Amino acid sequence: MDLVIVGSVAFDSIKTPFGYAERVLGGSATYCSISSSFFCKDVGVVAVVGEDFEEKYFRYFLDRGIDIKGIERKKGKTFFWEGEYTTNFNEALTHKTELNVFKDFNPQLPSEYENCKYLFLANIDPDLQIKVIDKIKNPEFIGLDTMNFWIENKRDSLLKVLERINILFINEGEIKLFTGESNTVLAGKKIIEMGIEKVLIKRGEYGAILMEKDRAFAIPAYLVEKVVDPTGAGDTFAGGFMGYLAATGDFSFENLKNCIISGTVMASFNIEDFSVKKLTSIGFNQVSERINNYLNLIKVDAEKILKQN
């Protein structure tokens, strides 16, 4: 197994100014794995679902060639989240969270997953993230996501797991909370000073920033005419990033830029419809075309600028 993704598979009910979707497929591992499968052809998912998770939902993974042996079915109901976006698409209003079987989630890795080269730990308890890392025999690259709850309530555990990863995915509000810095760049530098190798700061509609010691790279978001549902955009971004990285096996800073572009483009598709509807209706030709469009969008003639001065 090349890439293993550990996180949640869930049902969401989502309201936005453009409509309402009731009990649709969601969860961090869902978005991340489907996104990564456009680049990496050997992806496995570790998650837990309940008895209400019908066989038809597994097709979303299987149709993308994603291995689902790591998705455990337990007695009870699947994790459920209900939320709403109003005028601010960067922040959801949570109306209901029912952890259900996810409350006692204890990631179970099939034996072949333990030999994975690439690991992405989505937003789960940092103590569980540590347990998963302990099971992986010789990973080449580990990415990790987190959230405000763990920053505020399990900081010590979070700091321990951060010592064992290659890149931290974190949004702008979370990194400011984590570091106590009000400036995003200073917050990123402070994270690096903690000994974290790389940090990728997700900025929603404003793009993303990759930082490591002594260098950084920032890009804008892809220009989308109509944002329908931003749920899962960050996980989709991470999936594109990790999928491209696993496909290329190149950890250079220059290639990490390509990973960010891949993640940005995948996230731009995701937000155009509810749930994973758009992600499961496109092919790689559409992804490739949008990558080319994006590269043209951000291309500049730096030499001409310098000559004018």
Arithmetic mean of pLDDT over the chain: 95
Residue pair 246/258 in contact (Cβ under 8 Å)? The answer is no
Q: What is the dihedral of CA 154, 157, 158, 163, to 10 degrees?
A: 170
- Which option is the CATH number for 3-307: 3.40.50.1370, 3.40.50.300, 2.30.110.10, 3.40.1190.20? 3.40.1190.20
The whole-number pLDDT of residue 9 equals 98
The whole-number pLDDT of residue 154 equals 94
Which has more pLDDT, 204 or 238? 238
The whole-number pLDDT of residue 90 equals 76
Band of pLDDT at residue 305, cut at 50, 70 and 90:
confident
Band of pLDDT at residue 288, cut at 50, 70 and 90:
very high
In this model, does residue 24 exceed pLDDT 90? yes
The whole-number pLDDT of residue 26 equals 97
The whole-number pLDDT of residue 304 equals 77
Which has more pLDDT, 95 or 304? 95
Work out the average pLDDT over 98-109.
96
The whole-number pLDDT of residue 309 equals 57
Work out the average pLDDT over 252-280.
97
The residue among 54, 58, 99, 59 whose CA lies nearest residue 81 is 99
**Whole-model pTM?**
0.95
In this model, does residue 278 exceed pLDDT 90? yes
Band of pLDDT at residue 27, cut at 50, 70 and 90:
very high
* Sequence ranges of the domains in the chain: 3-307
Q: Which residue has the tokens 């569980």?
A: 128
The whole-number pLDDT of residue 243 equals 98
Band of pLDDT at residue 292, cut at 50, 70 and 90:
very high
In this model, does residue 88 exceed pLDDT 90? no
In this model, does residue 126 exceed pLDDT 80? yes
The whole-number pLDDT of residue 59 equals 97
Segment 177-193, tens digit of pLDDT: 999 999 999 999 999 99
Work out the average pLDDT over 107-133.
96
Work out the average pLDDT over 149-165.
95
Work out the average pLDDT over 94-107.
96
The whole-number pLDDT of residue 33 equals 98
